[in-house]
Amino acid sequence: MDPTPVIGWQPIAKFQDRVWLHVLLFVLTILSTMFAGAIAYAGFVDDFRGGTALPMPFASLFLRGLWYSGTILAILGCHELGHYFACRYYDVDASLPFFIPVPFLLTGTMGAFIRIRERIPSKRMLFDIGIAGPIAGFVVAVPALFAGLAMSHVVRVPADASGMLELGETTAEAARREVAEECGLQIRVGEVAGILDRVVRDVEGRIRYHWVLVDYVAFVESGELCAASDADEAQWVEVDEVVRLDTTDGLLDMIRRAQALAERERA
């Protein structure tokens, strides 16, 4: 009788998945990202002015969420499938992608992942499997970026949005420029008289602009007072006469403060 033991074995089956679970998570992630996309699309239609009313029926808005959902899931899916097919190529056991739906997040998802069920035999394989995902996602993300830019539109600054800083400009430089453009005067800018907040709302109560007004003491050096640029009228007014004019809250106090600072600087 042969005493040598006979050992029977069979290879473990690889790439075995509960497909129904992956499909269910994928469908739920489609719905959650469509919801997030619908919210973003509503803001896009409203030019991101913060409106609360729906710009269209919810069903139509929800379908518009496919623009975002299809894009983000294509990028995520290709990224994870890049890892997955690299694992298949090297016969490293791995799962299909798991998508994570999260409807209450701004993105509608926390991403996706695959599960690698065995040790990767070599550093070369590890590198190839690791880099395959970003490359596959990048191939989809770049065309999606250019398509999104092509479909976007630039919102012009309204004509009534004057007094804004230009890029790289200090507030003192902006004050000097604005006075020259709107009043025709060249001024020397002194110290800050005060800072005011002004919130401008539309007829529905939505915030259109939030201005931070920096008021300076200024001294006229040259020029002749005239209405220019987007100013309708310009004239010299005594401080005491300002009381009779229709002005915004806090303006009169700011003028008196500036007058006191100007007198102190002249002294």
Per-residue pLDDT tens for 62-74?
898 899 999 999 9
The residue ranking higher by pLDDT, 80 or 232, is 80
**Co-location of 144 and 201 in the same domain:** no
Residue 91: domain span: 19-151
pLDDT at site 152:
78
Domain boundary residue, one of 120, 151, 182: 151
97 has pLDDT over 90: yes
pLDDT at site 210:
78
Q: Cβ–Cβ contacts within 10 Å for residue 93, how many?
A: 16
**Co-location of 208 and 147 in the same domain:** no
160 has pLDDT over 60: no
Q: Exposed (0-12), middle (13-18) or buried (19+): which is 168, by Cβ within 10 Å?
A: exposed
pTM reported for the whole predicted model: 0.57
Is residue 11 included in any domain, yes or no?
no
Is residue 164 included in any domain, yes or no?
no
**% of the chain residues with pLDDT over 90:** 33
Residue from 118, 178, 55 nearest 126 by CA: 118
Q: For position 183, which CATH number holds? A: 3.90.79.10
Residue from 195, 203, 142 nearest 171 by CA: 195
Number of folded domains in the chain?
A: 2
**Co-location of 186 and 104 in the same domain:** no
- Reported as type and span, the H/E element at residue 209 is strand 207-223
**Co-location of 116 and 211 in the same domain:** no
Mean per-residue pLDDT for 204-233?
78
Q: Kindly report the backbone phi and psi dihedral angles of residue 75, in degrees, each rounded to the nearest multiple of 5, phi listed first.
A: -65, -50
**Co-location of 89 and 177 in the same domain:** no
**Co-location of 147 and 258 in the same domain:** no
202 has pLDDT over 60: yes
Mean pLDDT, the chain, integer:
83
**Co-location of 88 and 210 in the same domain:** no
**% of the chain residues with pLDDT over 70:** 86
**Co-location of 142 and 223 in the same domain:** no
Is residue 10 included in any domain, yes or no?
no
Is residue 6 included in any domain, yes or no?
no
**Co-location of 137 and 23 in the same domain:** yes
**Co-location of 208 and 253 in the same domain:** yes
Residues 6+ apart with CB under 8 A from 99: 22, 25, 26, 28, 29, 73, 76, 77, 109, 111, 112
**Co-location of 145 and 215 in the same domain:** no
**Co-location of 124 and 209 in the same domain:** no
Is residue 163 included in any domain, yes or no?
no
Query: For residues 85 and 129, what is the distance between their CA atoms, to the nearest angstrom?
Result: 8
In sequence order, the β-bridge partners of residue 113 are: 98
The residue ranking higher by pLDDT, 127 or 235, is 127
Domain boundary residue, one of 151, 184, 205: 151
pLDDT at site 6:
60
